[in-house]
Amino acid sequence: MWTIDYSNLSERELEKIQSDIGSGQSDLRVFIADILPRDCCHRENMQDRMLELESLVTTFWGVVILEHIQKRSLPDYNTYIWGGKLDEIIHEMQLQKANLLIIGNILKPHQIFKINEILKPFGMVAWDRVDLILKIFQRNAKTTESKLQIELAAIKHMWPRIFNMGMELGKQQWKGSGESNTEIMKRHLAKRQSDIRKELDKYANVRKNHREGRKRKGYITVGIVGYTNAGKSSLMNALTKKWVLAEDKLFATLWTSVGKMWIQADSQEEWVYQKGTEVLLSDTIGFIRDLPPELIDAFTSTLEDSIESDILFHVVDASDPKIDEKVQVVDDILEQIRATQKRVYVFNKIDMLQISELADLKIRFQDKDPILVSTHYRRGFQEIENLLRDLA
């Protein structure tokens, strides 16, 4: 099969090709690869990780052409994927005209650098899992704040790659300054980080003032959290009748959206007026397994609305085959960000379950006292209203 010849291109031209991949200027044809430990007996767990990577690639508008799982006790120290297998992958990518290699883990700085040096002459580039998530975030960011948060996370992620790899960049000096390019870049990025944090602090203070205003008015506040694509925004829309982007994609929401829900008083006496209850719900970024610490840190201010709420609705996709694992992922992240208030488990998408599956779900998670809902058919909402009315 015919392949493109990059042998006559200069180093700069090859680097330009690598940097353009994923910028929207060319189609993304993706090869996914990862390492499976030899002693791992749960291959389906790796397959699930690969399926999630496929979903991430699709979210980024790429097309998965091939995928490969390599069984090894340990990844290769230099390139993560062992040399002979990496050569096979490059050959397959050439045959299928793939241009992007996604590796389903977080690589060390020198590993991603060396693998990209190997791929450069073939007009290909490699990203690790965090690179892919950051690219999705950058594409989906709509607000100034979310763009700043993503820039901060990107700087933190790229920092060790720039300064810990012994690249040629570090050996060069800026003419007349006596400083290396690395030192200049380090100072520039440190200043940029400081500037971004100052800007984010302004947004955080505005949100803090809003929260204090809501408390003074006696509003009940609910934070909606959950694994990405569990249906958080759909629940928000259904309860508040406020339009919030709800797509069948990972990380469709990267900013906090606040909506108001009115709960009519449950009056037991005829002709006796009882005031209803106003509830404010906030929907924000979804969580995902192995969410990098730099991303959690960058979005801390956005997550504060959930952390400071009176109660948390942990939305769960009831139809997800990996439901136990994903519930635990979200619970672990909530512990990490110190969200300690009462947590209500809202199992969404029950319309996608058979009666026997629904009965099994109730038994398996009875210790969490779940509320079972279908945002599509508006089922189970009365139980949510009763719970919130009791909080008033």
Does the structure show a pLDDT above 90 at 72?
no
Does the structure show a pLDDT above 70 at 47?
yes
Determine the residue type at 181: N
- What tokens were used for 372? 């079972």
Give dist(CA 295, CA 112) in Å, integer.
Answer: 19
Q: Which domains does the chain have, with CATH numbers?
A: 11-138 (3.40.50.11060), 142-196 (no CATH), 218-391 (3.40.50.300)
pLDDT in tens, 91-121: 999 999 999 999 988 898 889 999 999 999 9
Residues 75, 80, 84, 88, Cα dihedral to 10°? 120
Q: Please give the pLDDT value at position 166.
A: 47
Q: Please give the pLDDT value at position 156.
A: 84
Q: What percent of the chain has pLDDT over 70?
A: 84
Task: Give the C-alpha distances (Å, rounded to integers) separating 91 from 33, 119, 228, 357.
Answer: 14, 11, 34, 45
Residue 211 C-alpha from the chain's centroid? 25
Does the structure show a pLDDT above 80 at 266?
no
pLDDT in tens, 316-326: 999 998 899 99
Task: Give the C-alpha distances (Å, rounded to integers) separating 302 from 59, 224, 261.
Answer: 22, 12, 21
Q: Please give the pLDDT value at position 250.
A: 55
Does the structure show a pLDDT above 50 at 209?
yes
Q: Please give the pLDDT value at position 313.
A: 96
Give dist(CA 223, CA 191) in Å, integer.
Answer: 33
Q: Please give the pLDDT value at position 179.
A: 64
Give dist(CA 201, CA 214) in Å, integer.
Answer: 20
More confident residue, 245 or 236: 236
Q: Please give the pLDDT value at position 44.
A: 63
pLDDT in tens, 285-343: 788 887 777 777 777 766 777 778 899 999 999 999 889 999 999 999 888 888 888 99
Instruction: Tell me if residue 338 falls in helix, strand or coil.
Output: coil
Q: Please give the pLDDT value at position 82.
A: 84
Report the predicted TM-score, pTM, of the whole model to 2 decimal places. Answer: 0.80
Does the structure show a pLDDT above 60 at 41?
no
Q: Please give the pLDDT value at position 244.
A: 52
Q: For residue 164, what pLDDT band results from cuts at 50, 70 and 90? A: low
Determine the residue type at 85: K
